[in-house]
A and B are shown apart, each in its own frame.
Chain A
Amino acid sequence: MEKINNSLSVVADRLRNSEVFFNLPDKDLLEIAKFCQEEVYQDGQTVFVEGDPAYKLLVVERGKLAIEKKIQLGRHSTPRNATIAYVNPNQVAGFSAIALPHNHSGTITAVEPTRVCAVDGMKLREYLDSHPDAGYQVISAITSLVRGRYQSATNTLTYFLSIVSHELRTPLAAVENYLQTILGGFAGELNKKQERMLKRCVIRVTDLSGLISDVVDLARMRPEQIQADFEWFDPGEVGHESIEDTRLAAAEKNIQIHIQPPAKFKPIVGGRRRMRQVFTNLLNNAIKFSPPNANVYFRARYEEDQLIFEVEDTGHGIPPEDLEYIFTDFFRASNVGDSPGAGLGLSIAKKIMDAHHGDIVVKNLTDDDGKIIGSLFSVHIPLNLSTPEMRRNEWMPIKSNKD
């Protein structure tokens, strides 16, 4: 008898250390310990699979579990498992044992040799039903854990997208490859009509792969990655490159881009390629949403501790109720109509500017009657940024006085 009580109290201790049961008094823990069982999993072993009935709640004692979701696009792609979270010692997997419909919402795999304390789900539910105080404590602990996992869902989403995008790109590359081969005349002569249609195909397919690249780009958009590429560059040069990037689109709609640079551009530190991406995106938007034959203004000026670039268009502006959302992932204003885009360009631009500790802001321009006559985007780049080398030198060991 004494022996059993001892081992029960050991299990109760383990439960008390866990993120779900830590609030329970000893008497509840000792009761729950009665329907716990120790289980051991080998590295790589699947503990349970998404959709399985959830019979147990697992408290990890040692090792590590991964929560995974299976992703498969179409019939031909290889299914992949995306890890959405890890479960470390004292953390808990298998909440679904408590929540209806009692089916696991993810797959759990051991990524290290792992020992768990498995709580019988059915008995746990019965116990919590009949002991509402304990039930309340457990449910509130689980609610806060689920909140945390919910927040990390954005990261998971971008990870999903990067896999999904790759799966989309592969067949698209084959199509583009064939189109280019045919257009190049490698599969025989083309008549004018065929050539024109194939050229349109290339344009449409290129747009599509651009959209997919945006999605991949967003998934890779972490501030430390952007900052690692900081270097000295001439902002005027980058501005010119962006104008080059958009020249064709502007010419198609006969849109004039008016350039208003400062008296002299001075070199700044930042992500050169990323900054070009921001300017090009703003100019492209201005062109896309302006009527034919319109004017677009591209300005730059220095102000105390920052360099400001502005892109002004004479389009139909942004609906006021949309203004606060336009830098959000996948947001597209309600008045964009059929214009192509995934709604990622501005959100990518915002992430780039955040990594520069700068800002990107927007306002609508109105005439005297309050009618919207265009929009103005401004990009603020701080002038005190450091390259990775400069940052390293700032942290060099201090020389002794003898030197």
Chain B
Amino acid sequence: MQEQPSILIVDDDPDILDGILMILESKDYELRIARDGVQCLEVLSEEVPDLLILDLLMPRMDGWGVIREVRNDSRYANMPIMILTTVIEDASRRRYELETGHSMDIQAYTEKPAKPAELLSQVEKLLLWKK
């Protein structure tokens, strides 16, 4: 039997987390949560999930900061990142490029609110992603 895929969801809004969890709980996933970027990095250092679902605008460390840290660390090279945010995609990519000089290495960008069916199919697709 195959192991349950593990997903870490990071968002500072408890209602958003609640909704996303409810959708993902319909599948056989092992779900973890973090409430900001710093907590996200703590959880990541304990165990690398099969997928990271990441909000951008968060206190302490924002999502762009998390991407920067994670993409500079070979432990997470095979971990796909899905952005789930209210920030418009091109504005977000431009900001990351201006700050880091690199393009944003993420595997999916979804603007909130995600439709449940689309969220589930995207998650499924990303779990198959390998560098």
Identify the A interface with B (CB < 8 A): 166, 169-170, 173-174, 176-178, 180-181, 184, 186-187, 216, 220
Bound complex: CA A170 to CA B23 (Å): 19
Which A-chain residue is minimally distant from B115 (CB atoms)?
A: A180
Min C-beta distance of A226 to chain B, whole Å: 12
Most chain B beta carbons < 10 A, residue from A170, A174, A187, A220: A174
Contacting pair B86 A186 (CB below 8 A): no
Can you name 6 A-B pairs with beta carbons within 8 Å? A170-B13, A176-B113, A177-B15, A178-B15, A181-B19, A220-B91
- Binary contact readout B85-112 vs A (1 if CB under 8 angstroms, 0 otherwise): 0101001000000000000000000001
Contact yes or no, B86 A177, CB < 8 A: no
Q: Which residues of B contact A216 (CB under 8 A)?
A: 88
B26 in complex: contacting residue of A166, A169, A186, CB < 8 Å? A186
Instruction: Tell me whether B1 is interfacial, beta carbon within 8 Å.
Output: no
Which residues of the other chain, A, contact B41 by a CB distance below 8 angstroms? none
Residues from chain A with Cβ under 8 Å of B57 in the complex: 166, 170
User: Contact at A170–B113, with CB atoms within 8 Å?
Assistant: no
CA distance A220 to B117 in the complex (A): 31
Enumerate chain A residues within 8 angstroms of B86, measured Cβ to Cβ. 166, 169-170, 173
Pairwise interchain contact B16-A174, C-beta atoms closer than 8 A = yes
**Residue B77 interfacial (CB < 8 Å):** no
With A169-B86, A180-B113, A184-B23 known, 8 other A-B pairs at CB within 8 A are A166-B57, A170-B57, A173-B13, A174-B13, A180-B114, A181-B116, A184-B115, A186-B23
Residues of chain A with a CB closer than 8 A to B113's CB? 173, 176-177, 180
Closest 8 CB pairs of A and B: A184-B116, A176-B113, A174-B15, A177-B19, A173-B112, A177-B113, A181-B19, A169-B86
* Secondary structure class of chain A's binding surface, majority of residues: helix
Q: Give min CB distance, B26 to chain A, whole Å.
A: 6
Task: Report A95 CB to chain B, min CB distance, Å.
Answer: 34
Interface residues of B in 8-24 (CB under 8 A from A): 13, 15-16, 18-20, 22-23
Shortest Cβ distance from residue A13 to the other chain B in the assembled complex, whole angstroms: 41
Return chain B residues, CB-CB under 8 Å to A180.
Answer: 19, 113-116
Interchain CB contact under 8 A, A186 and B116: yes
A177 and B91 within 8 A (CB): no
A178 to chain B: which residues have CB within 8 Å? Answer: 15, 18-19
Which residue of the partner chain B has the closest CB to A181?
Answer: B19
Compute how far the CA of A20 lies from the CA of B13 in the bound complex, rounded to whole angstroms.
49
Does the CB pair B26–A177 fall under 8 Å?
no
Within 8 A of A (CB), among B43-77: 57
A168 — nearest CB in chain B belongs to which residue?
B86
- How far is the CB of A179 from the nearest CB of chain B, in Å? 8
Q: Which residues of B contact A186 (CB under 8 A)?
A: 22-23, 25-26, 116
Residue of A nearest to B116 (CB): A184
The one of B22, B91, B112 in contact with A181, judged by C-beta atoms closer than 8 angstroms, is B22
By the criterion CB–CB under 8 Å, are B117 and A184 in contact? yes
Task: Give the chain B neighbours of A170 by CB distance below 8 A.
Answer: 13, 57, 86
Contacts of B23 in A (CB 8 A): 181, 184, 186
Q: Which residues of B contact A177 (CB under 8 A)?
A: 15-16, 19-20, 112-114
Q: In the assembled complex, which residues on chain B have CB atoms less than 8 Å from the CB atom of A187?
A: 22
Residue in B15, B20, B114 whose Cβ sees the most chain A Cβ within 10 Å: B15
A170, B114: Cα distance in complex, Å: 13
Of the listed residues A176, A178, A181, the one surrounded by the most CB atoms of chain B closer than 10 A to its CB is A181
A181 to B117, CA, bound (A): 10
Taken together as a complex, chains A and B put the C-alpha atoms of A142 and B118 apart, in Å, by: 58
Q: Which of B19, B23, B26, B114 has the most CB of A within 10 A?
A: B19
